[in-house]
Amino acid sequence: MYSFEEIIGHLINKVPEELTGHSKFLSVLAYIVAKQLKEDHPELKLDDLFADHMKIASKLHDLGKINIDKNILNKPDKLTTEEYRIMKMHTVYGLMVLTEMTKGISLDINERKLFTICKEVILLHHEREDGSGYPIGINRIPLSAQIMAVVDTYDALTTNRVYHNKVTKEEALEILDHDDDKYNPMVVDSLKRVLAKKDFAEIVNNPPLKEVGLSCSYCR
């Protein structure tokens, strides 16, 4: 039987190739924002492994897209209503794959924490605090999914997509600020601090990784 570490590594490698760059960037950005959030808000009492676990879980946020038809996933035009309905199922599919692949695996305390964050990020990263998201439409969202929602939206806004042209960093942050009923303002503020750092580009390319226990094997 494979170990939990081996299974997570295998699942990371299963993320569709065309999404690999997106997932790697978001995993680093989520890691840095989580570290910043811990510094900005000690009242949240985030433990030392939270950022490391966010980095790993973020690599899996689009795992469910392995079950989405390639013609839909790679369509160069705007999706139809039915295609969009199918695309939104990637959140549910991802959780199903993770759950099935880890069935019967014994987890230690840190692995259980990571497993929980992976489930939250995969299923809930498109949920919004005003209840307008998917797949459930909830408004009480775990912090891990709130972070993922902010960094994923920021990346989507600042990247050319078939349904919109990219905007500047400043314009993206204005949109996130304006939609404070959808995105956690604390997370957005921490993202702003991260993006304002003079060495941001260097940090993204060479993130400082805390090599503790489980995290060091996945985060390279």
Domain at 177, CATH number: 1.10.3210.10
Residue 201 predicted with pLDDT over 90: no
Rounded CA gap, 200 and 207, in Å?
10
| Of 146, 135, 60, 69, residue with least CA distance to 97 | 60
- Our count of domains for the chain comes to 1
The better pLDDT of the pair 96, 15 is held by: 96
Note the helical H segments in 137-210.
143-157, 169-178, 185-196, 200-205
Give me the phi and psi of 183, to 5 degrees please: -120, 140
Decide: pTM greater than 0.85: yes
Q: Which domain holds residue 165?
A: 4-218
Q: What is the overall mean pLDDT for the chain?
A: 89
CB 51 within 8 A of CB 71: no
- Does residue 41 carry a pLDDT above 80? yes
